[in-house]
């Protein structure tokens, strides 16, 4: 598998970049991604500041959510977050 970003004549197309990256972030962050693909993504994160910022945001969100106790997350919020992530992955 090769990472294809949404780079066009005007630079990086954020919709295409995010769609491609969202599908790969779990493997990227968990360390289960093949080294060649991880290297491609590392280069992309370095070359595409918006995607690099998105990666930082993804990591911060994950750390913040890990600090919450399950009982502290209202069920409606949990459903909304899950729906949001699923919708983003389908875009």
Tens of pLDDT, residues 17-30 = 777 777 788 889 88
17 domain-assigned: yes
Q: Which helix (H) or strand (E) holds 73?
A: none
- Rounded Cα distance between 65 and 46, Å, is 26
- Three-state SS at 67: helix
**Within-domain flag for 1:** no
pLDDT, tens digit, 9 for 90 and up, residues 41-54: 899 889 888 888 88
Q: What is the pLDDT of residues 5-18, one digit of tens each?
A: 655 545 555 666 77
Closest-CA residue to 3 (of 45, 41, 58): 41
* Residues 56, 41: Cα–Cα separation, whole Å: 14
Q: How far is CA 23 from the centre of its chain?
A: 7
Range of the domain at 65: 7-90
The total of structural domains in the chain comes to: 1
């Amino acid at each position: 598998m090769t990472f294809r970003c949404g780079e066009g004549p005007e630079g990086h197309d954020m919709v295409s970049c995010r769609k491609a990256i969202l599908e790969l972030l779990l493997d990227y962050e968990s360390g289960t991604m093949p080294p060649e693909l991880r290297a491609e993504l590392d280069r992309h994160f370095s070359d595409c500041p918006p995607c690099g910022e998105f990666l930082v945001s993804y990591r911060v969100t994950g750390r913040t959510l890990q600090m919450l106790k399950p009982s502290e997350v209202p069920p409606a919020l949990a459903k909304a977050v899950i729906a949001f992530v699923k919708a983003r992955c389908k875009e």
